[in-house]
Structure 1
């Protein structure tokens, strides 16, 4: 099977920040021709983010082409409308009403192509909240995800844009379902996924657990776990290692590996259920034992006894991770400095999907585009004449990176 199964699918992406670009990235990585529509004259504002957002554009916009066009002008809207009959999918993640004001809402585009699938990535699905502004962090707090993540009384957002990306993934799944239905009906449709409902979906097990036990979910740092040994332990030399002993067989291997005969024969520790009731003294006892070993020694012993373990890693560690480096888990992406034509090639995570018995991974066909880099190429492909394109430039409907100086919006 090819690692580009969506080759031939044509997508217009109207997006910014994370949710829309990550949906477009998934399509692009799988072979779709994704055209990123950027506002003229300044391009996607995500290019200018600093701080936490400095990697957003480079991280989510490879394998795309850029068309920079002023949609506040009638000529810009008319240009987009001319593309639509040849497009399979439109995706957008702007606030409620934005695309409608720009003449590119579903009601504007669907009459131009009855087979069009339109993906709207929003903060909320239909209901009382649907016109509220929303962000990843907002819905993490609203849904209970932040409450479950931090210690009691200290709600904490997750350390990555997990809800943005999850919502994008649900949107991509919805589009694939709509394209499948299109094969049978010949009719496109509007699809929507959202941040809030995606975050709520993550709470499913906590809600089900409450229904099953009658007990309210507790924040993860204060939880009563399902397994007795499922914790971070300190090692000799200030290291840290997560160790998870998730079955009675693993417990037997664990105590045998470390020569803990007294614990192995203790009837209070015979099963996971009984061990759960002994955590108060058992965990400090294990910590005292494990402090005798360096992190590397513990890793080796856990590996030898087939126990689940992991170092407490940081993002910087992933650049040199031996597994990722050996398996095409990192792909070379050009990281620009605030959108300027300077930067460096850096290994970034590949989409985590393998295809076929060859276990092929999607790769990089196009580096993240410069603003309007593909204006002429795209419009010529879609039937515009050269003189029409020149006229759009003269009228400031189109712009590109030759005409723009990028300044960063530093925190």
Structure 2
């Protein structure tokens, strides 16, 4: 069965680096668009990042082509313009005004290619902050996500480039909306997405909590949970997360673990009453769970309807049986010839994922 390619026939040109812009292009490429990256003659510096940046290029540049252009030369600019004028979609995430100064901004290009959908991915949307430099971590710190993630007084960034990737996703949402509109109008649009506003959108639930309750949200490690049992529990070997999120599941949980006395206590039958008595019931449950291995806990919970999770690490995902069974990791050849598997776009079309083999593009 062939892999679905719903965006086949669309041409995308990328002037991007790092994560946000490439992530937007990666989504379009996974959906079947023809995506071509424009890189400097020496190659995008993202290719050679070390440490936590070493995975950026392979993760967000599969299924793409590459062309090396010197955008400081007339020939390079001429070629870049020709590519843009032949494209359906352009994605860029350089400093504000950088492509405008090269004659590659939206106004200049759309005058000659009115069907062009131009996605500009920045740190901030137009406004007082628009010329500031922003990265994922800057946005997380500034937008309230780091405050909510770490313990009180210890802001902590999330464990992946969540704002870069989500910002890129919002950019793609805008592109697809503009593409649908273009079917009716024949014209493209300038689409702008940003890191800061993406972060604020993601903490909007906490802003709404203040509006509803009159109390500012506490950081997640210190929050008052909406459910009495919604915690990581230590076992005899490895920890496990367990959630009891309905009154019916409370009955199931008590039955599975022989908590007859807790189930008999009618003051604990309703979730909000259990939340108010967390300090009383949690020690007993922690002590009980600690007598089991993680495997024994999972064996009881699996199929019960109770939310649970082993505490996984990224490297564990390579051997996850569900991902293996569904084909959610696609074969990728790294520049040095190393074979690996990386997550495909987590969307199924008629039950089929979009996984297909890929080789990272060489420079130019």
TM-score (structure 2 length as normaliser):
0.97
Whole-Å Cα distance in 1 between the matches of residues 128 and 272 of structure 2?
A: 44
Structure 1 residue 102, shift from structure 2 partner:
2.7
* Alignment correspondent of 2:72: 72
Residues 344-365 of structure 1: CA distance to partner in whole angstroms, max 9, x if unpaired? 1111111000001xx1111235
User: Aligned-residue CA RMSD in angstroms?
Assistant: 1.2
SS at match of 1:170: helix
Tell me, yes or no, if the aligned pair for 1:332 and 1:364 is still in contact at 8 Å. yes
Within 5 Å, give how 1:105-120 maps onto structure 2: 105-120=105-120
1:72-111 equivalent positions in 2, closer than 5 A: 72-111=72-111
- Residue 368 (str. 1) matches residue 360 (str. 2): yes
> What is the DSSP-based 3-state SS (H/G/I as helix, E as strand, rest coil) of the residue aligned with 1:37?
strand
Q: Is the 8 A contact 1:255 1:264 kept in 2?
A: yes
Query: CA separation of 1:2/1:330 partners in 2, compared to 1, >3 Å: closer, same or farther?
Result: closer
Q: Which residue of 1 aligns with 2:259?
A: 260
Take 1:84 and 1:219, find their aligned partners in 2: how far apart are those partners? 45
Unpaired runs of 5+ residues, structure 1, are 337-341, 373-411
Task: Tell me the equivalent position of 2:338.
Answer: 344
- Offset at 1:304? 4.2
Matched pairs, number: 363
Q: Does 1:162 align with 2:154?
A: no
Deviation at 1:104? Answer: 1.4
How far apart are 1:126 and its partner, in Å? Answer: 1.2
Q: How does 1:146-161 map to 2 (within 5 A)?
A: 146-161=146-161
Q: Residues of 2 paired with 1:113 and 1:363: CA distance? A: 33
Q: Distance between the aligned counterparts of 1:84 and 1:343, measured in 2? A: 32
> How far apart in 1 are the matches of 2:250 and 2:212?
27
Contact 1:331-1:347 at 8 Å conserved across structures: yes
Partner residue in 2 for 1:37: 38
Q: Which residue of 1 aligns with 2:316?
A: 317
| Unmatched tracts of structure 2, length 5 or more | none
Structure 1 or 2, whichever has the larger Rg, is 1
* 1:268–1:278 CA contact under 8 A, matched in 2: no
Q: Per-residue deviation at 1:101?
A: 2.6
* Post-superposition offset of 1:343: 3.8
Q: CA deviation at 1:200?
A: 0.3
What CA distance in whole angstroms lies between the structure 1 residues aligned with 2:262 and 2:40?
65
Which shows bigger deviation, 19-28 or 264-273?
Answer: 264-273
Distance 1:323 1:313 in 2: 13
Whose RCO is larger (CA < 8 A, sep 6+)? Answer: 1
Please list the CA deviations of residues 249-307 of structure 1 after superposition, one character each: whole Å capped at 9, or x if unmatched: 00000000111110110122111111011111211110111111100000011114321
Residue 181 of structure 1 and its aligned partner are, at CA, apart by 1.0
- Residues 3, 356 of structure 2: 8 Å contact kept: no
Deviations 1:341-400 (A, max 9, x none): x241111111000001xx11112354110101xxxxxxxxxxxxxxxxxxxxxxxxxxxx
Indicate the residue corresponding to 2:274 in structure 1: 275
State the partner residue of 2:181. 181
Give the corresponding residue for 1:48.
48
